[in-house]
Chains A and B, each alone.
Chain A
C-alpha cells in the first residue's frame, strides 16, 4: 500500500493575532495509507473538523504541511483546485447544500465543473446514484421533494461522482433514525470495498466506527490522542472514557466485568466477539471446576 495523506507538524490557529486566538490543531503528524477506512473521533471542539478541512485546502496550515498523494497543497505553483477533486469532502448536514432543480443535476454539478463530457457525466450520475441507492425516478425529482435521508444520499452521491481518491465525511449519519444510519454507512462501506478508495469518517459514535472502520484516529484538545487499529484503540477503553468519549455498550460491559475483578479482555467492541469471549471464559471456568 502507498501513502495517500501525510500530515507533518500541522498546527492551525483560529483568529491568529487576535485576543481570542485559539489553537485548534497543535503539532499534529500522521499518515493515511491508500485504501484505509479511518474513523475520526473526538469530543466537540477537539479539532476533528478543522483537521479534515485541511485535506482539500479549505484551511491553510498556520504551520506544518499537508501532503495528498505526495504533493503539498500550499507549495508554490500547486493547483489547489485539483485537490478539491482529489479529496471529496462531505460536510455535516450536506442536504442543506443542495440547490439544483433535480437530483440528477445536483449530482452532475461536480463532474461538470471538472470539465467532463456529457456522456461521462451521465455515466457518473448513474454510478453514484447506484452506490447510494437512488432510483431513476428519484433522480428526476426536485431535492426538496425528498426525505432528509434521501437528500443526504443525493449530496453524498454528488461527491462520489467526482471520483475522488479520498472521501471525507463529517458525521454522515447525524440525526438519522437507526435504519437510516445503517443504510448510509453500509453504502459508504460498500463503496469503499468496491472502489478501494480511502475513506475518512468523522463520527461521534464509537459503535459506528467499530462497525465500519479499520483504523481509528482519536483527537483530544487539538492533538492526536491515539491512532491505531480498531482493536488496539478499543483495548484502551478506559482511557477513551477518561477523554470524555463514550465507548460502545459492549465495551462498557467488559470494562465493568474487569472492574468487578474478572480476568477478561477489554478490547471487546462488537457483539459477535463479545459472545465468543464469554463462551471462552465460560469454557475456561468449567474446565477449572472439573480439575
Chain B
C-alpha cells in the first residue's frame, strides 16, 4: 500500500532535445511518487510523457530542475548504477528488449551483468519469472512467444534486478486485448509485492485501475487525481485530446439526457450496478 515515503521526485524539471529550440519537451514538471503507488500517466502523442519517464532512471538528465530517486540526484554520476537498479524500465516493443535465445537466459542477463553470484541468480530469476507469470515458459525461445508473453519476459528481466520501481512506457501498446490483460495482471501482482508502478499508457481502461492518474499536455502536468476524479472531467480530457473510458462516457451521456448517475462511475462494473439500481 502507498505510504508517505517518496520514491521518485521531480522538482521543476525542464528538458529540451535541442537546446537551440525554444520548445521544451518537459516544461516544468514537479511531482512526487510514493513507495508502493500505482500511477498512470496519460497524454496525447508528443506531450512529453515518455521524455519524463526517461528521467526516472537517468536515461535523460534534466536541463534544469532535479530528479531524485530515493533521494539520490540522477545527475550525480556516482549514483548511476544505484538509480538504474532501483528503477527498471520496460518499453513499447518487446522485440527490442530481448537479447537471449532462451527465456530464462534473457531474464538472467541483468543480474549476470550486475555480478550477482550464480546461485543467487537462480533464485532471483525463478522469483522474477513467477512474479511476471512466465515461469512455465522459462525454457522456450522468445521468438516463439506471443507479444504479451514476450513483454512479460522483458518485465521479468527487469524484476530480476530487484528494483523498487517499475516504469512502463506504453508497454501494452503493441499487444492484443488478451496480451494487454496478461500484462495488466502482472502489474497488479508486482504492486501487491510492493513494487511501485509508473505506467504510461494510451488505454483509459488501464489508467482507471491505477491509484492515481496524471495527465500531461505540452510538457506539463495539467490534471492529477484519483481515476474517479480525473475521468469525471470528460470535457477537460477531450480538450487535451484524450478520451474517458466508455463506461464514464455512457454515464456522461445519461446525465445529459436527464438520467441521474453519480459522478464517480468509471468502470463497467460500477456503471452496471448504478443502472441496476435505477432499472430494477
A17 interfacial by beta-carbon distance below 8 Å? no
Q: A44-B146, A249-B245, A253-B250 are in contact. Are A262 and B280 (CB under 8 A)?
A: yes
A282 & B241 in contact (Cβ 8 Å cutoff):
no
Interfacial chain A residues near B181, Cβ < 8 Å: 246
A274 interfacial by beta-carbon distance below 8 Å? yes
Interfacial chain A residues near B243, Cβ < 8 Å: 178
Chain B residue at smallest Cβ distance from A246: B177
The docked-state distance in angstroms from the alpha carbon of A14 to that of B161 is 39
**Secondary structure of the B contact surface, majority rule:** helix
Q: Which of A176-212 contact B (CB under 8 A)?
A: 176-180, 204-205, 207
Mark contacts of B155-186 with chain A using CB atoms, 8 A cut-off: 1 yes-contact digit, 0 otherwise: 00000000000000010011011110100000
Q: Which of A219-250 contact B (CB under 8 A)?
A: 244-246, 248-250
B225 interfacial by beta-carbon distance below 8 Å? no
A147 interfacial by beta-carbon distance below 8 Å? yes
A116 interfacial by beta-carbon distance below 8 Å? no
Interface size on A, residues (CB 8 A): 39
B44 & A177 in contact (Cβ 8 Å cutoff):
yes
Interface size on B, residues (CB 8 A): 38
Chain A residue at smallest Cβ distance from B249: A271
Mark contacts of B65-92 with chain A using CB atoms, 8 A cut-off: 1 yes-contact digit, 0 otherwise: 0000000000000000000000000001
The docked-state distance in angstroms from the alpha carbon of A175 to that of B176 is 11
B218 interfacial by beta-carbon distance below 8 Å? no
Of the stretches B26-34, B113-121, B126-134, B269-277, the one at the interface is B269-277
Interfacial chain B residues near A262, Cβ < 8 Å: 276, 279-280
Interfacial chain B residues near A207, Cβ < 8 Å: 246
A102 interfacial by beta-carbon distance below 8 Å? no
Q: Nearest-CB distance from A199 to chain B (Å)?
A: 21
The docked-state distance in angstroms from the alpha carbon of A250 to that of B205 is 13
B178 & A256 in contact (Cβ 8 Å cutoff):
no
Sample (10) of A-B pairs whose CB atoms are under 8 Å apart:
A175-B173, A178-B204, A178-B242, A249-B246, A249-B247, A271-B246, A275-B254, A278-B254, A279-B257, A281-B279
